[in-house]
Amino acid sequence: MVTLSPDRYAGILRVRLQERDTLRGQLAQLIRRLNALQSERREIEATRITALQNQQRVRNRSLSITSLQTAAEHQRHLQQTAERLAASQQHVAQQLPPLQKALQQADQQVAAIEKLIEREKLRRAQQAIHEESIAQDTAAMAKFYRERQRQQG
C-alpha cells in the first residue's frame, strides 16, 4: 500500500481548502447578487404600483394627453425594468444549484483528506508504538540471554 506523508496530504489539503474557499466566495457573491436583484425588483414593483394608484386618483380630473402618455410611458418603462430584473434574477438563480453542488463536493473532498491525514497520523503512531515494543522486547531478550550466559558461564 502506497501511503503519503502527512506533509504531502497537508499540501493537497491546502489546495482543496483554497478551491473550497473560492467556491464559497463565488456562492456568497451570487447570493448577494440575487438578493440585490430581488430588492431592486421589489422597489420597482412598489414604484409601479404607486404610480398606477396615482394615475387612478387623477383620472377624474382633466389631464392633458401628453401627461397621460408620459404616465403610460413611465409604466411601460417600469414594467420592462421589472421584467429585465426578473430575467436576471432567474439567470442568477439557475447558477446556484451547480455551484452549491460543487461546494458540497469540495467539502466532501476536504473532509476525506482530513480523515486520511488523521488515519495516517494514527497509523504512524501505532507503527512507532509497535517499533518501540519490538525494541523493548529485543532489549529484554538480549538482557535475558546475557544473564543466562553469565549464570552458565
Confidence check: pLDDT of 142 > 90: yes
pLDDT of 62: 67
Confidence check: pLDDT of 63 > 80: no
Q: What CATH number belongs to 6-152?
A: 1.10.287
Q: What is the pLDDT of residues 110-120, one digit of tens each?
A: 999 999 999 99
pLDDT of 69: 84
pLDDT of 6: 65
Hey, where are the domains in the chain?
Answer: 6-152
> What residues have CB less than 8 Å from 44, skipping those under 6 apart?
78, 81, 82, 85
Read off the C-alpha cell for 83: 421584467
Interval 67-72 mean pLDDT: 82
Q: Closest Cα to residue 117, out of 38, 10, 16?
A: 10
pLDDT of 127: 96
Q: Closest Cα to residue 109, out of 6, 17, 3?
A: 17
Q: What is the pLDDT of residues 17-62, one digit of tens each?
A: 999 999 999 999 999 999 999 999 999 999 989 988 887 777 666 6
Q: What is the pLDDT of residues 73-111, one digit of tens each?
A: 988 999 999 999 999 999 999 999 999 999 999 999 999
User: What's the pTM value of the predicted model, to 2 decimals?
Assistant: 0.71
